[in-house]
Structure formats: structure tokens, C-alpha cells
Amino acid sequence: MSDQELQPLAPRRKTRQIMVGKVPVGGDAPISVQSMTKTDTRDVEATVNQIYGYANA
């Protein structure tokens, strides 16, 4: 997809920050993502590779 095909996004709404447990959500807080690995955790190399994949996504 080229830059010319991208449509402008709607303006972001101003939100207030709240805490969900120890995780800030909204406001200027960064987006938080939680995931689980799908590998057998005894396979350390595969599990670490999957974690790196999530971190780099």
C-alpha cells in the first residue's frame, strides 16, 4: 500500500488516564499488550523466538 492510498485518520479523542491494576490505560499512556506463548515452554529456543516476535511486532 502506498502513502497515497492511505486515508487520514480521524482526530484522536482526549481521554483521561486510569489504572487497571498496575497498568496505566488512556491519556498519554503507551498501548499495553498482553499475550501468551503457543509453544511448549520446555522448548526454550522456540519460546524465546516467539517472545521476540511479539516484542518486534
Cβ-in-10-Å burial (0-12, 13-18, 19+) of 28 comes to exposed
* Whether the Cβ atoms of residue 36 and residue 44 lie closer than 8 Å to each other: no
pLDDT at 2: 60
Instruction: Report residue 9's pLDDT band, with 50, 70 and 90 as the boundaries.
Output: confident
What is the C-alpha to C-alpha distance for residues 35 and 45, in angstroms, rounded to an integer? 18
Q: Could you tell me how far CA 21 lies from the centroid of its own chain?
A: 17
pLDDT at 30: 93
Instruction: Report residue 13's pLDDT band, with 50, 70 and 90 as the boundaries.
Output: confident
Instruction: Report residue 6's pLDDT band, with 50, 70 and 90 as the boundaries.
Output: confident
Would you kindly state where each structural domain of the chain is located, as residue ranges?
A: 11-56
H-helix or E-strand containing 20? strand 18-20
Global pTM value: 0.52
Amino acid at 2: S
